[in-house]
Amino acid sequence: MEYIIIIIGAVFVNNIVLAQFLGICPYLGVSARVSTSVGMSGAVMFVMTLATLVTFLIFHYILVPLNIEYLQTISYILVVASLVQMVEIILKKVSPALYQALGIFLPLIVTNCAILGVTILSVREDFGFNLLEGVVFAVGNALGFALTIILFAGIREHLDLMDVPKGMRGAPAALVVAGILALAFMGFANLV
């Protein structure tokens, strides 16, 4: 039950994109097509879970005992960056098609606050997560990211077929859609 609550909270109530404002760049950048957004979600999910696992260990078994929590940012980003690069290399070999689809966006995961943000949040004091909870939290957030970006991609594909007025075409309309989506998701307020 605990885990389900964490996941519902992360997916619906405190959605990483719509409520926490993390990972907005890929949210806007990679959401033009449903297929790419699915791929991106997969990549994010993989990296986010792995990164949280590793950084959780680093935080609790290196930084805290040594009293050097202030190195959190820099050590985390090192881990995230290397992980992403690893995923990139592996993907290129294992699934060139997916690699082609995600193109330049894989490196962008490095500079994606969603990953770093979630790794930092998962060790936040007032959550007091243990390792498993931390990882579940990461998975929940990744699911939240996936849900929103796929929904969003669907709407953007739909808008592609409509003649949106010139001034609003592209990013502005997309942002307003995100805004309305965030409005709608407020309905989940306080669900858990």
**SS3 call for 189:** coil
- Closest to ligand FMN by CB, 57 or 184: 184
- Closest to other proteins by CB, 49 or 112: 112
Assess 32 for contact with ligand FES (CB under 6 A).
no
Residues 157-186 that bind ligand FMN (CB under 6 A): 186
Query: Which listed option, ligand FMN, ligand FES, other proteins, none, makes contact with residue 79 (CB within 5 to 8 Å by class)?
Result: other proteins
Assess 113 for contact with ligand FES (CB under 6 A).
yes
Query: Residue 64: CB partners within 8 Å, gap ≥ 6?
Result: none
Which residue in 62, 68, 184, 189 binds ligand FMN (CB under 6 A)? 189
End-to-end CA distance of the chain: 11
Q: How many residues bind other proteins (CB under 8 A)?
A: 87
Residue 15's identity, in one-letter code, is N
Assess 108 for contact with other proteins (CB under 8 A).
yes
- Closest to ligand FMN by CB, 132 or 186: 186
Backbone angles phi, psi at 16, to 5 degrees: -60, -40
Q: Contact, 16 vs 145, CB < 8 A?
A: yes
Which residue in 21, 95, 101, 133 binds other proteins (CB under 8 A)? 21
Give the residue at shortest CB distance from ligand FES: 25
Please report where in the chains the tokens 């592609």 appear, as a residue: 160
Report the C-alpha gap between 34 and 121 in whole angstroms. 28
How many Cβ atoms sit within 10 Å of the Cβ of residue 140? 25
Residues that bind ligand FMN (CB under 6 A): 186, 189-190
